[in-house]
Structure 1
């Protein structure tokens, strides 16, 4: 059975980070090996606060060494990195990627370059953004940035579809082979816009933006997880892009219908296998 290693944050209640990634990938028929960078009681948008702890870079290294000791790194088909709480954790991720790829040359490294969002209470320590843009993103086979993170990586201002396509092409020149821009917020208020870029072409999907009283947390983590699972199942990038958009929209629609803001990935799990909706990617470059 294929396996994905997922190194990112974790919450005990709700679905963000590994809590948004592990079950969907498992539901799609793939083993998941989660390694947590932080462990909190709940995500940071709760006004009541949260409790928990950050883990050190050596905690990551120790778990990687343990997996290597039982000769499992060769069975890892993809490694996801998400929220990282220090530059030292970024260094540990780079080491993990090299060890996994040494054991399995076909393994993918999928980097979700979480760079913080002050509006959601997600503040990065100094040095993390630089470590992501200078070391981890160029090392990745696949990156899944939002508009801000793509702009940080490429040094380009993005205000249009043309700007986004140009930035994606520059990003590919910097190392990654596949770019999934999970949210182009400046393109449309009525539609949620995503772009897929490969060395050959770019594709666009626009789906309705769904109103919530409070914005769901963990949507980006879910996008990265489902897209990685699709690639691990040997879907083409375009088919993986289509399936990901359809599945994630289905989960959001189901969550909205329940009048909730925590992603309802358990009760909506059918979406990961047979999505209810279908948004066909449009080739744009």
Structure 2
């Protein structure tokens, strides 16, 4: 069963679809990548070439898939990430609705790519409200980092309690689970670790893994985590189980990247560890 993945694509490195596609394929899950931008590399390297894909072209690709019954019947979920231009938000919303025709419970994971603590917001200012008002309400799962959680909710998120309150506010918009992919706050369990938080309203859990001393953090970890979480959740929809599996697989990739001193995620070198990470980091119930 295939995942429809609407995200950015880069020629070099592993971000957006260039992270999700090889990871999902290594896990044995077919994926249909539809690119929202075509860049030579991640803009965080300081220079890049390429351009956003016209929203109409993104829609054409989805429509072509939907008109191919032998493939379309195999759809299992929708995944979205970096949009590129504001007009793509409406296309993603339409794609989710089209994928749910006849399958109203088909899962949709929205990775609301907006920015990060540094360098701040790096998308068009019109995109965050479009995500909040049109994509989040359609989502089964939303995976913001802490900066994006603040941008979507307008809440401060300065400690674990306020971050959890903001995640629960997002749940009130429609999703079944919210995963906060970076919980860099001073309190809570394992405060010195790299932590992720998940809540489904009935419970909340933190998964903590060691913080690796990268001279410069590789791009794409959040994109990879979202794809890994969706895959794990499709196998077992208990949010704490899916997050433990996803964080553990991501850590295996990050550890290999750190060991090699690589400037990009060592995704291919660690692909055999995605399904069976060497160590499973447990979910801690709050």
- TM-score greater than 0.5 by the shorter chain: yes
Contact 2:11 2:41 in 1 (8 A): yes
Deviation for aligned residue 1:216: 0.8
Alignment length (residue pairs): 282
Q: Is the deviation greater in 26-35 or in 148-157?
A: 148-157
What is the aligned partner in structure 2 of residue 68 from structure 1?
66
* Range 67-76 or range 79-88, more displaced: 67-76
Query: What is the CA distance between 1:119 and its match in structure 2?
Result: 4.2
Separation (CA, whole Å) in 2 of partners of 1:218 and 1:121: 16
Specify the SS of the correspondent of 1:45.
helix
The CA distance in 2 between the partners of 1:20 and 1:57, in whole Å, is 22
User: Do structure 1's residue 194 and structure 2's residue 196 form an aligned pair?
Assistant: yes
Partner in structure 1 of residue 6 of structure 2: 7
CA shift at 1:153, angstroms? 2.1
**Counterparts in 2 of 1:129 and 1:197: CA distance versus 1, 3 Å:** same
Q: Secondary structure at the match of 1:83?
A: coil
CA distance in 2, matches of 1:54, 1:122: 17
Quick check: 1:219 aligned with 2:217? no
What's the secondary structure of 2:22's corresponding residue? helix
- 59-68 vs 154-163, greater mean Cα deviation: 154-163
Structure 2 length-normalised TM: 0.94
Specify the alignment match of 1:159 in structure 2: 158
1:227·1:241 contact (CA, 8 Å) conserved in 2?
yes
Instruction: Give the equivalent residue in structure 2 for 1:92.
Output: 91
| Alpha-carbon separation, structure 2, partners of 1:91 and 1:129 | 13
Per the TM alignment, residue 117 of structure 1 is displaced from its structure 2 partner at its CA by 4.3
Counterpart CA distance in 2 for 1:243 and 1:61 is: 33
Q: Which residue of 1 aligns with 2:128?
A: 129
CA deviations 1:201-228 (Å, max 9, x no partner) are 0001122111111111000000000001
1:259 corresponds in structure 2 to 261
Measured in 2, the distance between the counterparts of 1:263 and 1:222 equals 9
* 1:278 aligned to which of 273, 277, 280: 280
**CA deviation digits over 1:235-276, x for unaligned, max 9?**
532211110010101110111000113000101112211101
Moved more, 78-87 or 119-128: 119-128
Shift in alpha-carbon separation, 1:159–1:122, aligned structure 2, 3 A: closer
The aligned counterpart of 1:238 is 240
Contact 1:11 1:41 in 2 (8 A): yes
Residues 26 and 187 of structure 1, relative CA distance in 2, 3 Å threshold: farther
CA gap 1:149/1:122 in 2 versus in 1, 3 angstroms:
closer
In 1: Cα distance, 2:37 partner to 2:244 partner: 31
Contact 1:25/1:225, CA 8 A, preserved across alignment: yes
**Residue in structure 2 matched with residue 247 of structure 1 by the alignment:** 249
Aligned partners of 1:24 and 1:225 also within 8 Å:
yes
In 2: Cα distance, 1:156 partner to 1:118 partner: 15
Displacement after TM superposition at 1:234 (Å): 3.7
SS of the equivalent of 2:43 reads coil
**CA separation of 1:82/1:187 partners in 2, compared to 1, >3 Å: closer, same or farther?**
farther
Query: Which runs of 5 or more residues in structure 1 are unaligned?
Result: none
Q: 1:126 to 1:235 in 2, by over 3 A?
A: closer
Aligned-residue offset at 1:122: 6.9
